[in-house]
Chain A
Amino acid sequence: GQQLNQSPQSMFIQEGEDVSMNCTSSSIFNTWLWYKQDPGEGPVLLIALYKAGELTSNGRLTAQFGITRKDSFLNISASIPSDVGIYFCAGPSDGNTGKLIFGQGTTLQVKP
């Protein structure tokens, strides 16, 4: 079945550093979503991408929808302690937008 491979699995960085994570698949996706989850809470949508090549920003966050439609990237600039959490990429399974599949998540820790 479809799978999303997210990397890195975890990151431990210094406050102020930039962060980059990515998500790849062997299948084509028409939508890429990036979520952040804090402990004990539900995922919060950060950025939604709907078009190949699209580059979208949300504050210090920037995400790109890969040209091949098989990958996506999320960058966080000038990290701050509240960026700590788990970041997930997600996409509709078999093109079905009601059914998301998720990457394994990237755990980000920021050292003040």
Chain B
Amino acid sequence: KAGVTQTPRYLIKTRGQQVTLSCSPISGHRSVSWYQQTPGQGLQFLFEYFSETQRNKGNFPGRFSGRQFSNSRSEMNVSTLELGDSALYLCASSLHSITPGTDTQYFGPGTRLTVL
């Protein structure tokens, strides 16, 4: 079974631009969560989508948004990029994120975003 895939793997943008990152979950997984990883803050939760609905949201500004499609694929968007948005953005999928034992999150390789 193919794992979680993320595209693109690397991205360079300049301040003020916007960016869209894509995530394809493991086949059959319906929950997709996004995380930001930086050396200073570690791994921080952005948001989670399940059945095309945002179910949880972390403490990030409104510039960070996401969506999920009917095939469970998800995208996240960051508008008006700032230097501090440079990070590894990770996507994780799980079956349905409710029942213990079926809620384990599996991560993709991440998208490395550099903002200049």
Residues facing A in B70-88 (CB within 8 A) are 88
Q: Is the CB of B56 within 8 A of A31?
A: no
Nearest CB in chain B to that of A1: its residue: B59
**Do most interface residues of chain A lie in helix, strand or loop, or is the interface mixed?**
strand
Cβ contacts under 8 Å, B4 to chain A: 42
Cβ contacts under 8 Å, B6 to chain A: 42
**Do most interface residues of chain B lie in helix, strand or loop, or is the interface mixed?**
strand
Give the shortest distance, in Å, between B95 (CB) and chain A (any CB): 10
Q: Is the CB of A42 within 8 A of B100?
A: no
B interface residue numbers (CB < 8 A to A): 4, 6, 31, 33, 35, 42-43, 45, 48, 50, 55-56, 58, 88, 90, 92, 94, 97-98, 100-101, 103-110, 112
A interface residue numbers (CB < 8 A to B): 30-31, 33, 35, 40-45, 48, 50, 88, 90, 92-93, 96-102, 104-105
